[in-house]
């Protein structure tokens, strides 16, 4: 049993939430971790450390409705290059984002010039309302990077969308090339990360390419 106030449980929770954001997040959905209710750790010989978590999330755009989840996060033993295995079970249904997704999709498709933006939020924490869906999509995509790159010795958060550029495609997907700033809490580094996200209302977000930006200290 782990105290929720101690960091090992909190780090595992961050991975679980990142994973969930990637799977279920998008331009119309904002999921926040409200509380870590309970955490257990199981050390599995020759395999790794497995965390069992009870989480209370908040579906912010659904009037902050509470969403309860359970999650399992398995960090593989000694491996820095294998992503943790994550399973998340959401209790109940999340509110549909079909309408917001459709509206966002149509709006972007109808843009004459490809969308370009930077510094979301800005230095003062402001996000122009029109860019909030782009911000939320970045959160969903960051969930993938966070999940893929986490260990028991890291805790990642999305610090800022440094740059985003839409790339028009001939198929049905929307494509956005992002440069995200990820804050890694243990080393305190702010790491620029490049990634390409594809999104469609019916298929959700997919990170098709990503890399830590080269040339960073």
Partner 1 sequence: ANMKLILIFSALIGASLCLETFVGHQVLRIKTKNEEEVKQLQLLESLEHLELDFWINPSAPALPVDVRIPAVSVQSVKAFLESQGIEYSILIEDLQDVLDKEKEDMAESAQRQRSGSFDFGAYHTLDDINNELDHLASEYSFVEKIQIGESYEKRPLYVLKFSTGGSNRPAIWLDAGIHSREWVTQASALWIANKIASDYGTDASITSLLDKMDLFLLPVANPDGFVYTHTSNRMWRKTRSKIPGSICVGVDPNRNWDAGFGGPGASNRPCSDSYHGPSANSEVEVKSVVDFIKNHGNFKAFLTLHSYSQLLMYPYGYKCTRPDDYAELESLGRAAASSIRSLYGTTFQVGTICKTIYQASGGSIDWSYDNGIKYSFAFELRDTGRYGFLLPANQIIPAAQETWLGLKKIMEHVRD
Minimum CB separation of residue 188 from partner 1 in Å reads 4
- Candidate residues 81, 124, 214, 215; the one interacting with partner 1 per rule CB under 8 A: 124
Segment near partner 1 (CB under 8 A); pick from 21-29, 83-91, 117-125, 197-205: 117-125
6 vs 211, beta carbon nearer partner 1: 6
170 vs 188, beta carbon nearer partner 1: 188
Q: How far is CA 22 from CA 3, 123, 139, in A?
A: 27, 26, 8
Using CB under 8 A as the binding rule, the residues of this chain from 66 to 85 that contact partner 1 are none
- Candidate residues 51, 143, 160, 178; the one interacting with partner 1 per rule CB under 8 A: 160
17 vs 86, beta carbon nearer partner 1: 17
Q: What is the DSSP string of the chain?
A: -B-TTSHHHHHHHHHHHHHHHHHH-BTTB-EEEEEEEEEEEEEETTTEEEEEEEEEEEETTTTTEEEEEEEEEEEETT-SSSPPEEEEEESS-PPP-HHHHHHHHHHHHT-SSPPEEEEES-TTS---GGGHHHHHHHHHHHHHHHHHH--TT--EEEEEEEEEEEE--SSS-EEEEEEEEEEETTTTEEEEEEEEEEEETTTEEEEEEEEEPTT--
Binding mask 165-204 for partner 1 (x = CB under 8 A): ----------------x-x-xxxxxx--------------
14 contacts partner 1 (rule: CB under 8 A): yes
Number of residues in contact with partner 1 under rule CB under 8 A: 28
- Candidate residues 46, 112, 113, 125; the one interacting with partner 1 per rule CB under 8 A: 125
Using CB under 8 A as the binding rule, the residues of this chain from 19 to 38 that contact partner 1 are 32-33, 35
The tally of CA atoms less than 13 A away on the side-chain side of residue 56 is 9
Residues lying near partner 1 in the complex (CB under 8 A) are found at 3-7, 14, 32-33, 35, 121-126, 157-160, 181, 183, 185-190, 217
């Amino acid at each position: 049993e782990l105290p929720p106030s101690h960091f090992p449980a909190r780090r595992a929770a961050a991975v679980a939430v990142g994973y969930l954001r990637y799977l279920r997040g998008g331009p119309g959905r904002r999921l926040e971790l409200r509380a870590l209710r309970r955490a257990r750790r199981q050390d599995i010989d020759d395999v790794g450390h497995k965390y069992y978590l009870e989480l209370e999330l908040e579906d912010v755009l659904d009037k902050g409705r509470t969403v309860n989840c359970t999650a399992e996060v398995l960090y593989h033993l000694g491996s820095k290059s294998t992503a943790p295995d994550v399973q998340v079970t959401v209790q109940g249904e999340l509110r549909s984002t079909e309408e917001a997704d459709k509206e966002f999709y149509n709006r972007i498709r109808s843009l004459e010039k490809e969308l370009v933006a930077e510094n979301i939020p800005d230095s003062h924490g402001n996000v122009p309302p029109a860019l909030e869906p782009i911000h939320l999509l970045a959160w969903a995509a960051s969930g993938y990077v966070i999940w893929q790159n986490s260990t028991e010795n890291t805790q990642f958060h999305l610090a800022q969308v440094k740059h985003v550029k839409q790339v028009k495609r001939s198929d049905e997907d929307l494509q956005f090339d992002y440069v995200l700033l990820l804050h890694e809490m243990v080393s305190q580094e702010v790491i620029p990360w490049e990634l390409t996200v594809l999104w469609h209302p019916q298929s959700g977000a997919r990170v098709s390419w990503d890399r830590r930006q080269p040339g960073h200290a």
